[in-house]
């Protein structure tokens, strides 16, 4: 069951071919590391869903901590690459998940919800498949961040031949609006800020600066500066 439009699936299918090109080093590796570190304490020993798992880079790491981990993605290309890793993945949209109510202890989603036009439906669906007392670790894009400013200055970047970031819907939320869009019965436990001080990704290609920026990002994750993170990771609990 899928509700994503064909153009959206086509965008991510194109993206799947080069998605991992920079993901294992520098800036992208640091972002993945921070996301896994936030989710880790909740995922350990749990039944986990990653909604929008892409090629499975993060899901693969969550699976080493979880009792069992499942991924879902709307792109056949992404799902194929995740399957090649030996991961348990299904083809599905975040707004129409093929799982029973209360199927998972923990539901994670990174770099996905910002690209879902019907955010209310997506959040309700993620809540539906989370058991009472379970957690959701969900990432949003922050309008009040250096990342947002850099995106506005640089403009849409290419993701493949003939496609740019402008070809997919993107929403930017403010930190104080996240609680307002949550479905009933879901409470915000904490908010983490990822990519707080990094002005641009190229900083992490400079060895000395990369080390310093990585340390600074970890210090900022839970600090008052977290509200300026380019990525806001909300830790939620379903009552």
- Check whether 5 has a pLDDT greater than 60: no
Q: How far apart are CA 218 and CA 156, in angstroms?
A: 28
Count of domains observed in the chain:
1
Within a domain: 1? no
- Check whether 18 has a pLDDT greater than 80: no
pTM: predicted TM-score of the whole model, two decimal places? 0.90
Q: How far apart are CA 97 and CA 72, in angstroms?
A: 8
Within a domain: 158? yes
* Rounded average pLDDT over 107-136: 97
Mean predicted lDDT score pLDDT of the chain: 91
* Rounded average pLDDT over 39-62: 97
Structural contact between residues 51 and 94, judged by C-beta atoms closer than 8 angstroms: yes
Task: Look at 26-30, 36-40, 114-118, 144-148 and tell me which has the smallest mean pLDDT.
Answer: 26-30
Within a domain: 162? yes
Torsion of CA 202, 112, 135, 87, to 10 degrees: -90
Segments forming the whole domain that contains residue 57: 6-238
Q: What CATH number should be reported for the domain holding residue 220?
A: 3.40.50.150
Question: Percentage of residues in the chain with pLDDT exceeding 90?
Answer: 72
Record the tokens describing residue 79, joined without a space. Answer: 């799902």
Within a domain: 77? yes
Within a domain: 167? yes
């Amino acid at each position: 069951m899928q509700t994503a439009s064909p153009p959206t699936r086509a965008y991510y299918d194109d993206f799947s071919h080069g998605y991992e090109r920079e993901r294992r080093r520098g800036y992208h590796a640091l972002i993945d590391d921070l996301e896994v570190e936030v989710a880790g304490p909740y995922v350990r020993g749990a039944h986990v869903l990653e909604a929008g798992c892409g090629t499975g880079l993060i899901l693969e790491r969550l699976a080493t901590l979880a009792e069992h981990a499942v991924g879902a993605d709307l792109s056949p290309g992404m799902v194929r690459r995740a399957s090649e890793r030996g991961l348990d993945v299904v083809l599905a949209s975040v707004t129409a998940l093929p799982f029973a109510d209360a199927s998972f202890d923990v539901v994670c989603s990174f770099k996905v919800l910002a690209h879902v036009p019907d955010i209310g439906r997506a959040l309700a669906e993620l809540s539906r498949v989370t058991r009472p007392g379970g957690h959701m670790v969900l990432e949003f894009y922050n309008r009040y961040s250096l990342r947002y400013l850099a995106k506005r200055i640089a403009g849409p970047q290419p993701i493949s031949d003939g496609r740019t970031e402008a070809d997919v819907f993107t929403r930017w939320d403010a930190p104080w609006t996240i609680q307002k869009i949550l479905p009933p019965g879901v409470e915000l436990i904490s908010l983490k800020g990822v990519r707080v001080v990094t002005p641009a990704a190229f900083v992490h290609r400079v060895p000395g600066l990369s080390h310093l920026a990585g340390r600074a990002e970890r210090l900022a994750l839970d600090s008052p500066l977290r509200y300026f993170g380019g990525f806001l990771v909300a830790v939620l609990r379903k009552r």
